[in-house]
Structure 1
Amino acid sequence: MSNAAAQAVDSSNTDYRNLDAPVYNWPDVPKGSFTITGAEATLPEHIAEFQKTLRDFAINVMRPIGLKLDKMTPEEVIAEDSPYWEFRKKYLELGVTVEAMMELEPNEAALLFSILFEELGYGDAGLAISVAAGILPQWLSAKFGRMDLYKEFPDEVLGCWGITEPDHGSDTLDPSKAAASPVGDYGRPNLVADLTGDDIVLNGQKSAWVSNGVIADVCIVYCAADVGNGPDPTRGATIVFPMNLPGISRGKPLDKLGQRALNQGEIFFDNVKIPRKYLLAGPEDYQRALYCIHSEANALMGSVFAGLAQAAAEAALDYAHERKAGGVKIIHHQSVKTRLFHMFRKVEVSRALTRRVLAYNNDAAVAVPSLCSAMFAKTTSTQNCFEVTSDALQIFGGNGLTKEYPIEKMLRDARASMIEDGCNEVIAIKGGAYLIDEDKLG
């Protein structure tokens, strides 16, 4: 052998690895893992601990109570001895308050807000929406600097958001008529606030889809206003008021397909006199108030249904390790592995997008939050959630159709989400209108 050849052989046996490099701590066949919420970077210690508390609450409190409520009639769900009130009591014991959230740094508040509703959605979507609707009067009061209203209606007081109307579903989220058909007319509103006197006078009704509507103690209502020229939905009124005022009555609780743990029902107003101090936003501020609550609610929906999608994906993954078909555990079937991969991908997309939107809309440098981005989060997360829960049921096969397993309930709960807070089709039209750049139109 020549000297050159000998040197080449010696060179090939030389170990050039730097064994101190981190990759050499990996297993011989590497395989990464996830945190309890997927591909999660390290959280601040206090938020990580709170997340663990919420996950325990979701699994051990929300999920069993949600399953019980799902099997009950709407009247039983809101009865005095209902497990709903046990849930409500235990949720309040967690100590999550609007005031505490408002005192956090914006980026920390956005992260905590997202984690809170992801975990609540992981436990039970209907109960999560009940919590969300329950704080909207306080949340918007604080957002508008009306701490007098927040003090009058603290977090322990259960709230509701009255916006949707019998003849105007997603229309009520569109006072600017950006989503209106060119040949359409939204018509006369079902609820009008008369602002011509010393007191506000409410007449009309909100529809059966008011979350917590039959049981709430305080309401934040959005409706058309009359300042002397007739009802004007484009310059309406936002009012926060107690639900025990004379002239307020409520319909029966709604019996529906999914989110049966969430009470929903009509509210009727017959010459209800409301002191002016409860006016949160008058006609000149109405579109600001609606833009604000819609931005918050759509992002919140993104978080809740990212959480539900994760719960369904994990349930399907566990079942795929248990169920045998074709002589093997079904996790070994290529179609099952492919389906699970895309389910978890959609969960990660939903969570990442929603958290990005919340971070952006809470950034102090952002003068006006992006409702369009919140709409991205809502429509993406709810659509993904429905697809994930449907695929999860497919993995469960016939068992998924039975009430012995939780998947059919998750699918029903997910289906409602594509209509809540504005149906996704109308949201897309309105969101597309926000993309119009007037300067480019010439």
Structure 2
Amino acid sequence: MSAPSRFDRGHTDDLMTFLSASPTPYHAVATAAERLEKAGFRQVSETDAWEGTSGGKYVLRGGAIVAWYVPEGAAAHTPFRIVGAHTDSPNLRVKPRPDTGAHGWRQVAVEIYGGPLMNSWLDRDLGLAGRLSLRDGSTRLVDVDRPLLRVPQLAIHMDRNVTADGLKLDKQRHLQPVWGLGDTVRDGDLIAFLEDEAGLARGEVTGWDLMTHSVEPPAYLGRDRELVAGPRMDNLLSVHAGTAALAAVATSGADLPYIPVLAAFDHEETGSQSDTGADGPLLGGVLERSVFARGGSYEDRARAFAGTVCLSSDTGHAVHPNYAERHDPTHHPRVNGGPILKVNVNNRYATDGSGRAVFAAACEKADIPFQTFVSNNSMPCGTTIGPITAARHGISTVDIGVAILSMHSARELCGADDPHLLANALVAFLQP
């Protein structure tokens, strides 16, 4: 059985299921791991000695996952083919002392994570999800996926200039959500509520990493349902495509000249500098241990890394019909036009000419179109895990993705065909 040459709209249906099941990075990697388990992958612990057996393996660390498939008989110096992505999205995250409020309102104290479009979080029904750390040292995922919180916008009658001057939000004063009524703020109320939701005894939770999410489910949009609206497409769309591609390649039965890898990191939206971020040691450590577990030496590790290529897959900007002047005049990526190759000569993206050739070959093999994104010279360019991965590990890296609108909104917009076109390209890249 060979890997499918083309996914269809069923892949996009499944993406929406994945988005709904993954309100936080911790849930995203758990969902990806569950899917890889069904494809025969098995979790390995970083504290155990690793064996050099063939097959699929993965490591979970917080909100990050690294998964790889070792073909039967793979040499210690076999290069890797890596799909890189990130699991985090800009949002509102709960502070260490979450219980607050004023004037008869009970509120939750939140901090701004990353660079969200803050207005998109106003007047939206929000749930609460994340990771609870327990007294016994274990962790528990929690997801209150129902309307629980809301950040109410000030009525226009009390802000008469908002239409002319634009909405101006103070990150500290204006974005604290309400979740009930009461004149007395009681420390511990929110965590006690979540202990009940998770079926835990009172006092079991001693730490937490919690964040809000929109409870409105993803949906097809448009006259012909050619668009998809949903949360966290930046960048769970790439995590989902990478997971599907790795599982397909691992179960294809094809001869693989490379070791296919999925590396999905946390904290990209805040600079990647953490033990679960792309600027940390996680990926390098896993790849090195894979080489050494197969009896390899440092020389084998150097040979493997020298032949490795990474596709850093992240969302990019589709041309906006209302702001076309903000885009480069000769590069207008369109939704449903296929994945995008992201280029910046100042190395905000890692793509160079040789990397373009690798991606073009994958798209040609998959028989899909691709587009190129370049920023307008007058505007600063964003960045990805691509340059970090290339510099930290000395491996050839190419920045790609899917073109979307409303990036960093609580609800983003993509073409309904692009997710499965991206997955096609990733299969062709992992199984050249």
TM-score by length of 2: 0.25
Name which structure has the greater RCO, CA cutoff 8 Å, separation 6+: 2
Instruction: Select the structure of larger CA radius of gyration.
Output: 1
Greater fraction helix: 1
TM-score by length of structure 1 reads 0.25
Which is strand-richer, 1 or 2? Answer: 2
